[in-house]
Each structure stands twice: as C-alpha cells, then as structure tokens.
Amino acid sequence: MKFFREHSYKVILLLLGVFFTGGSVSYTDAKDTCVECHKDIKFMDKNGVLFEYYSNWINSIHEIEGVTCTDCHGGDPTKSDKENAHKNDFSSLTVTDRFSSQKITERCGKCHKAVLKNFTESKHYKALVKKGTAPNCSTCHGSMNADVYYTSVISRSCKNCHNEYTKNIPDIVGEADKILHRINVAHLYKRWVLIEYHFTEPTKVEEILALYINVAESWHTFDFEELDQKSQVLLRKIRTLVRRGPMAKK
Ligand code: HEC
Ligand code: HEC
Ligand code: HEC
Ligand code: HEC
Ligand code: HEC
C-alpha cells in the first residue's frame, strides 16, 4: 500500500496513458479521413469532378486490395481538416498533359515493381524523363479503377505521337493494335481456363497464368519484336486448351 500511496499518481498516469494510446490507435486504424471527407455526397452537386474520382475508386480492384488515396497521393489520413490532410508529400498528381507525369510512374511503381522495371528499360521512359513526351501509367490505365482502355482508345493515344507528321514510327500503331488484341483475347480466355481446369489440371492453369503475367508485364518494355512472338505463343497455348475443353466438345 505504501508503494501505491507514494506512486499512485504514476500508476494513474500509466493507466490513462494505456487507455488513451489504445483509444487513439483504434481510431486511426478504423478511419481514413481522406475517404471520410471525399465520400460526402454534397460534392456530387458542388464539385462533380471531385466526386467522380471517389466513385471510380470505390469498388475498384485497388479499393478491394486496400490501396487508398494516400498510397497514391500521399497526405496525412489521420487529419480531419483539409489543410492538414493535404500535407506530407501530398500530390494532386494533376496532369494537364496526361502523357507527361513522371511522378505517376514512381507512385504506381512502388507496388507494381516488375512493371516499373520493364517500363524503365523502354525508350518511352527515357523520353518521359528527358522531355516528358511519352505515355505514363495513367495514359493507358486511367487513375484509380485501373481499367485497361479499349484497344481503340489506346491506339488513338499512340497516334498523338506516332503519325505521318512526326515521322516517329507511324507503323507502330498497327503493331500495337495487333498485339493488344491478342493480349485482350488471352485476358478473356484466361478466366475460362481458370474455371475449366482449376481442379483437373492445376499445373496447366499455373503455367498459363504465369505466361499471361509475363506477357502483360513485358508489354511495358515496348519491345514489339519480342512481344509479337510472346503474345502469339500465349494465345496459341490458351486456344489449344480451350479447344480441347469439355465445353468445346458439346
Ligand atoms: C475535410 C475534407 C477533406 C479531407 C479530410 C481530405 N480532402 Fe482532399 N479535397 C477536399 C476538397 C474540398 C477538395 C477540392 C479542392 C479544394 O477545395 O481544395 C479536395 C481535393 C483533393 C484532391 C484534388 C487535388 C487538389 O488539390 O485539388 C486530391 C488528390 C485529394 N483531395 C486527395 C486527398 C487525400 C489523399 C486526402 C487524405 C490524406 C484528402 N484528400 C483529405 C476535401 C478533403
Ligand atoms: C492507384 C492510385 C490512386 C488512388 C488509390 C487514388 N488516386 Fe486519385 N489520382 C491518381 C492519378 C494517377 C491521378 C492523375 C491522373 C488522372 O487525373 O486520372 C489522380 C487524380 C485525382 C484527382 C484529380 C486531380 C486534379 O487536380 O485533376 C482527384 C480529385 C483524386 N485523384 C482524388 C482521389 C481520392 C479522393 C482518392 C481516394 C478515394 C484517390 N484519388 C485515390 C491515382 C490514384
Ligand atoms: C499500394 C500499392 C499499389 C499502388 C500504389 C498501385 N497499385 Fe495497382 N494494384 C495493387 C494491387 C495489390 C493490385 C491487385 C493485385 C494485382 O493485380 O497485382 C493492383 C492491381 C492493378 C492493376 C490490375 C487490374 C486488374 O484488373 O487485374 C492495374 C492495371 C493497376 N493496379 C495499375 C495501377 C496504376 C496505374 C497505379 C498508379 C496510378 C497503381 N496501380 C498503383 C497495388 C497498388
Ligand atoms: C501504352 C499503354 C500502357 C502504359 C503506358 C502502361 N500500361 Fe500497364 N498494361 C497495358 C496493357 C495493354 C496491359 C495488358 C492488358 C491487360 O492486362 O488487359 C497492361 C497490364 C498492366 C498490369 C496488369 C498485369 C497483370 O498481371 O495482369 C499492371 C499491374 C499494369 N499494367 C500497371 C502499369 C503501370 C504501373 C504502369 C506505369 C509504370 C503501366 N502499366 C503503363 C498498357 C499500358
Ligand atoms: C507523348 C508521345 C508518345 C505517345 C503518346 C506514345 N509514344 Fe511511343 N514513343 C515516343 C517517343 C518520344 C519514342 C522514342 C523515339 C526514339 O527515341 O527513337 C517512342 C518510341 C516508341 C517505340 C519504340 C521503342 C523501341 O525500343 O524502339 C514503340 C514500340 C512505341 N513508342 C510504341 C508506342 C505505343 C504502342 C503507344 C501507344 C500506346 C505509344 N508509343 C505512345 C512517344 C510517344
């Protein structure tokens, strides 16, 4: 008792400390102030464009995987007022010219390391670093829902720089169309292969998935000679599987 009498204030402080730290930890864990504020439906009327970014993110592959606004934009997601939340390495990632943001490449590449590695080997990356004149991740994937754009949209963006006037390999657009088409078809078949062979031939499924990922990732080198070969092999392998599948026999 003597101990407690002498040290009671310390014990109480200690208990209070545990209580408050415990409380604040769960507060920051549970809440992401970026999302809390940006999801406010009043933005729908007041700032439609702002709200659109939130609605693109919600239910996207990134949201499902727990990638939040801060992962790409920086900022402090524990501060509930805008001024302080929009600090700490905060970046709007605004691209007046969608093709020219090197920052975007760095931010996406934090997580997509294999893609970034391939991309940094390409002439596009060199042009991006030197002059800002090449496509970046968002040119093709948008920002948040990371959809791969339709072939037509992508080749239209290629044509901005690769055309008769610039004389910068105009033929490349047709090449891109061809390869993208193969990747897209493989992308569609891939799901079907997964369902069809998941239990019966898991090693086949793994092989196809690995090959698909390899092609999708090495697309970012823009080495079209190699991609032409690789994408043909991928599609041939997938098609062979699809043809001999039980569904095809019916
Ligand atoms: C209390 C509300 C609030 C919080 C918290 C908040 N924002 Fe914002 N944010 C806004 C508003 C309002 C705008 C619209 C532009 C303006 O008024 O400055 C905005 C704009 C933005 C923009 C567009 C670029 C710009 O500067 O206009 C981005 C990106 C953004 N916020 C990301 C974030 C991130 C990331 C967080 C968390 C770290 C966050 N916001 C936290 C209210 C908030
Ligand atoms: C996967 C990365 C990523 C995530 C997650 C992400 N953003 Fe973005 N955001 C970007 C990129 C890249 C851009 C710029 C390209 C564009 O406008 O499409 C951008 C642009 C924006 C803009 C427009 C900026 C301007 O001034 O034009 C706003 C607003 C915005 N984001 C808000 C948010 C909010 C709010 C969240 C969370 C709910 C969020 N973002 C989550 C990558 C991301
Ligand atoms: C904090 C980590 C993180 C950041 C930053 C990030 N991503 Fe992702 N991204 C993921 C995860 C996790 C997945 C889901 C698993 C996977 O496919 O690798 C994913 C999936 C994707 C996919 C595949 C979508 C699909 O349907 O299969 C694309 C494309 C993508 N991200 C593009 C981007 C782009 C572009 C940026 C920058 C604007 C970005 N990511 C930033 C973690 C991140
Ligand atoms: C010129 C267009 C273009 C650019 C620039 C681009 N991508 Fe891609 N990306 C594609 C295409 C096409 C695919 C493959 C098609 C598909 O998955 O449907 C793809 C696939 C992906 C995938 C999915 C790979 C998988 O495993 O399925 C991720 C993740 C990705 N890109 C991230 C990025 C990141 C990060 C950057 C910037 C460093 C980037 N991309 C730049 C067009 C592009
Ligand atoms: C903003 C301009 C710009 C856009 C958009 C653009 N490119 Fe490029 N591209 C360049 C530049 C600059 C070079 C480098 C030329 C050089 O250094 O010889 C290049 C080079 C290339 C190369 C040659 C790579 C090599 O290693 O020889 C290919 C392939 C290519 N681009 C494909 C594409 C495709 C496909 C698209 C559309 C998805 C596209 N580009 C969109 C500017 C652009």
**Quick one: pLDDT at residue 82?**
95
Amino acid identity, position 121: E
Instruction: Pick the more confident residue, 36 or 93.
Output: 36
**Quick one: pLDDT at residue 6?**
46
Q: Whose CA is nearest to atom 9 of ligand 3?
A: 62
pLDDT at 120 over 90: yes
| Token representation of residue 112 | 């997509």
pLDDT digits (tens, 9 = 90+) for 190-237: 888 888 888 888 898 999 999 999 998 999 999 999 999 999 999 999
**Quick one: pLDDT at residue 242?**
83
Query: Cβ of 183: how many Cβ atoms within 10 Å?
Result: 19
Residues with CB under 6 A from ligand 3: 61-62, 65, 67, 71-72, 104, 107-108, 110-112, 137-138, 141, 143, 146
pLDDT at 3 over 70: no
C-beta of 37 in contact with ligand 2 (< 6 A)? no
**Residue from 105, 118, 222 to probe ligand 5 pocket by mutation (most atoms less than 8 Å from CB):** 222
Average pLDDT of the segment spanning 232-245? 88
The residue among 182, 170, 123, 176 whose CA lies nearest residue 153 is 176
pLDDT digits (tens, 9 = 90+) for 157-190: 788 889 999 998 999 999 999 999 999 899 888 8
Contact 190, 209 (CB under 8 A): yes
pLDDT at 13 over 50: no
CA 223 to chain centre: 22
**Quick one: pLDDT at residue 227?**
94
> What value does the mean pLDDT of the chain take?
81
**Quick one: pLDDT at residue 163?**
92
**Quick one: pLDDT at residue 197?**
86
Query: Cβ of 204: how many Cβ atoms within 10 Å?
Result: 15
Instruction: Tell me how far apart the alpha carbons of residues 23 and 31 are, in angstroms, rounded to a whole number.
Output: 12
Instruction: Tell me how far apart the alpha carbons of residues 221 and 116 are, in angstroms, rounded to a whole number.
Output: 9
**Quick one: pLDDT at residue 153?**
74
C-beta of 125 in contact with ligand 4 (< 6 A)? no
Ligand nearest the Cα of residue 63 is 2
Q: To the nearest whole percent, how much of the chain has pLDDT over 90? A: 39
Instruction: Pick the more confident residue, 79 or 247.
Output: 79
Amino acid identity, position 185: V
Centre of ligand 3 from the C-alpha of residue 139, in Å: 14
**Quick one: pLDDT at residue 27?**
37
